[in-house]
Structure 1
Amino acid sequence: MTFSQHLRAVLVLGLPLIGSHLAQFAIGLFDTIMLGWYGVTELAASVLANSFFFVIFIMGAGFAFAVMPMVAEASSGDDDTTVRRVTRMGMWLSVIYAALFLPLMIWSKSVFLAFGQDPGLSQMAQDYLRIAGFGLFPALLIMVLKSYLAALERTQVVLWITLLAVAVNAFGNWVLIFGNLGVPEMGLKGAAIASATTHLVAVLALALYVAKAPGTRAQVMFQRIWRPDPEVFGRVFRLGWPIGLTNLAESSLFSASALIIGLIGTVPLAAHGIAIQIASGTFMIHLALGQAATVRAGRALGRRDFEGMWRGGSAAVSLSMFVVALTMIAFLTVPELLISGFIDPDEPARGAILAMGTTLLAVAGLFQLVDAGQVMALSMLRGIQDTRVPMIMAAIAYWLVGLPTAYFLGIVLQIGPVGVWLGLVAGLFMASALLWWRFVQRFRAMSSPALSPSL
């Protein structure tokens, strides 16, 4: 295939994934907007709660991410049995993980207090998580089924079901947060109920499609799903746990940044929550393109087509860098337009939040470049099923470089939220450099018999 053909293939696979990820992001976005209009205190509590939920969720999603390259490689050889076994064990591991970590959310107040957070906000965040935390089970199963369908290049259905979830969440928030249609006003707890319900509806819709659709029905995915498969369970676990810890290393950097800024004040935390939501929205595009690259690399690995793997990866990276350029322009030219919709016009702290959020988005324009770079490198490495060394590299970049730098600049030097975000840039830059070096080394080892496969 030529480079232009690879570009087209990545777009065909990636555009529905982009839509799906943006729709998934919209669920959190609606929570932020509606709670921002409900009250700044509720918004700040939701930032704490969702940051904590996301750390636990994204670590558990490592097993779902492991499903994608394994299914892609197996499906390139029409090995439906392996496809089914891998997906089932991905679901097993996800449910076991959710059961183990749910108690941490139920009793999360002590965690927030240990990090110096306001007692009132900590209690509110725990109240939210005691409801939303049960959504961890369907949320992780959604990730497994999405990975399975994406690896089969069935991404359009993922988009449509995610759009259904957006509608359910938006309606649920409108009814439950503000007390519409005769329902009692529930505020933050209403947002939690809407979130958990949304995950449940989405996983049921995905499971119904997998069970009934012509292209997947023959794989009888849920028949005798209770039967253990120790061999494949172990394979998915060995590939997935380093991905989960890599996800943890990155997500904890961002969640810790919320905790650090929480030490500064409620208004800075609210501004941070809004700015990070906007930056996360554009990151969803890079994540989707990265997953398209993972699938293409996994299929190329199954065919031993290393030239196709390199061209496909180059096409995905080129599209990602194009998006970086567009978002940097938007963050630098129209920041107030992007931020203003998150805040009630009558909110007394509106001016302070707008001013701080505008400054943070300027920094976000810089870290878009390095954030896109590291996620594309990780995606290619996952496509060739290389996860353990990248995990170590990510931990070094995020925990030993990014997090200390964020605390030092933001708190010790008293630069404030901008210093914290510059620490994020430092960690992401280090991760991008290390991970791309790793991929080039592994690619050379695989594609050239003269090179040692131990690289």
Structure 2
Amino acid sequence: GLRSQLHQSIWLTLGLGVMGVLSILLAATLLMDAGFDPDMASRANDYLLAIAWGAIPMTMLPALRGSLEAMSLTRAVLWINFSIFLINIPLDYFLIYGLYGFPQLGAEGCAWATALLLWLGLLANLAMLNWHRSIRHLSVFKHFQWPQWQRIRDTFLLGLPIGFSVLIEMSMFSGAGMLIAYFGPIAASAHSVAISIASASFMIYLGLGQGMTIRTSQQLGAGESEGALYSIKVGITLSMCLALLVTVCFLVWRHQLAGLYTQDTIVIDLAVKLLLFGAIFQLVDCLQAVSICALRAYHDTASPAKFQAVAYWFIGLPVGVLLGFYFDIPGLNDASAFWFAMLLSLTISSGLITRRLWHISALSTVVKP
């Protein structure tokens, strides 16, 4: 049940947190012996030792937050995160500059502030799970269970492809950014402006997708496979309508949006050109994000990672390199080559993932568990 899954997730993330602490301590030790400037190495070492205190809550928080979200307590998660954000601003300031009795720690102060707030977030999520009025009767921490290794293994194997999927996507966008830098500082600056604008809306799509995961999982847990399919259809329709609105806004106000980041007219002109691709991939990026989240409700996390690996690594980046450096196609012989390649790979990945979602959701309505 829910209680058992939460307990095993806590054990899993606690273990990962301990591994994180050991990794950071090892990195700090290696840094001191790497031959860097002693003062710089000492400062970096102090920063790592401070941030190591936050490794355990950092790994445990997603499990607790996900449990709250699974029980539709998304507003509680929002208020916890927003409160921590508000505390983080003055706490960073006090610890960096040593104000109001706090020690003056410089950059190390940021690490201590982060570690402290991670623990605060952990305690807040634990308190919410234990005492929130809508789930208090569940007593989720009553009779806390010892590790069940098979269940921990299953959870780890379910979550591992999600991390791999994030790594694949980050590697494509960061790889494209590094390759675009070969076209010069103007291209790199324009890419930075355009990608900042184009990715700002992704968090909205991700939030809608997580909502789809929750609603679809609840329907499947209740044995309502047709209700799950209906939730998917409603979620995708709502998300695509929002993405279409964002696309129109990008197309209409792309000059003004680029102007918020720089006053260099040459950079703005190229960024505006790149935003034409960015506007279109709002649609496919949104569809991909919500489809991936919906598939998680069916415990299918491996398929999206496979599709993204093929689309990003074996199609997107190679096409960008060929168009950018080997073919002289008008309009696609600068940073635009990689934006076209990113759009192409997102479209292919989105199509494959959405097709998989329709297949598995339709199949579940025929073959009910």
The letter of the residue matching 1:282 is S
Indicate conservation of the 8 Å contact 2:307/2:353, yes or no.
yes
Tell whether 2:124 aligns with 1:205. Answer: yes
State the 1:248 CA deviation.
1.9
Aligned residue number for residue 72 of structure 1: none
Q: 1:279 aligns with which of 180, 198, 216?
A: 198
Q: Name the structure 2 match of 1:442.
A: 360
Give the number of aligned pairs: 352
CA–CA separation in structure 1 for the residues paired with 2:239 and 2:187: 30
| Corresponding residue for residue 34 of structure 2 | none
Q: Which has the larger radius of gyration?
A: 2
1:62-93 per-residue CA deviation (whole Å, 9 max, x = no partner) reads xxxxxxxxxxxxxxxxx343343344245235
Are 1:432 and 2:354 counterparts?
A: no
Distance in 2, Cα, partners of 1:270 & 1:95: 37
Question: Over residues 181-235 of structure 1, what are the superposed CA-to-partner deviations in whole Å (9 max), with x where a residue is unaligned?
Answer: 699896x887767666654543343233334434455656567879422122112
Cα distance in structure 1, aligned partners of 2:183 and 2:211: 39
**Alignment-derived partner of residue 9 in structure 1:** none
Give the Cα–Cα distance (whole angstroms) in 1 for the partners of residues 288 and 59 of structure 2.
23
Q: Percent identity?
A: 27
1:292 to 2:239 alignment: no
Partner of 1:91: 13
Q: TM-score, normalised by structure 2?
A: 0.79
Q: Please state whether the residue corresponding to 2:339 is helix, strand or coil.
A: helix
Q: Does the CA contact (< 8 Å) of 1:106 and 1:133 recur in 2? A: no
**What residue ranges of structure 2 are gaps of 5+ in the alignment?**
32-39
The higher-RCO structure (CA 8 Å, 6+ apart) is 1
Alignment of 1:3-402 (within 5 A): 79-92=1-14, 94-95=16-17, 98-99=20-21, 102=24, 134=52, 137-171=56-90, 199-216=118-135, 227-342=146-261, 350-402=264-316
Distance 1:168 1:278 in 2: 27
Structure 1 SS opposite 2:300: coil
Structure 1: where are the runs of 5+ without partners?
A: 1-78, 110-122
Does the C-alpha gap of structure 1 residues 311 and 226 become closer, same or farther in structure 2, counting only changes over 3 Å? closer
Amino acid in the other structure paired with 1:155: T
**1:397-412 alignment to 2 at 5 Å?**
397-412=311-326
Cα RMSD (Å): 3.9
- 1:334 is paired with a residue whose SS is helix
Per-residue deviation at 1:169?
4.1
1:343-381 superposed Cα distances (whole Å, 9 cap, x missing partner): 5x7xxxx44443333333222111111111111221121
Q: Is the 8 A contact 1:84 1:219 kept in 2?
A: no
Please tell me whether the aligned partners of residues 377 and 436 of structure 1 are also in contact (alpha carbons under 8 angstroms).
yes
CA distance in 2, matches of 1:317, 1:228: 38
Q: Kindly tell me: are residues 275 and 137 of structure 1, through their superposed partners in 2, closer, same or farther at Cα, counting changes over 3 Å? A: farther
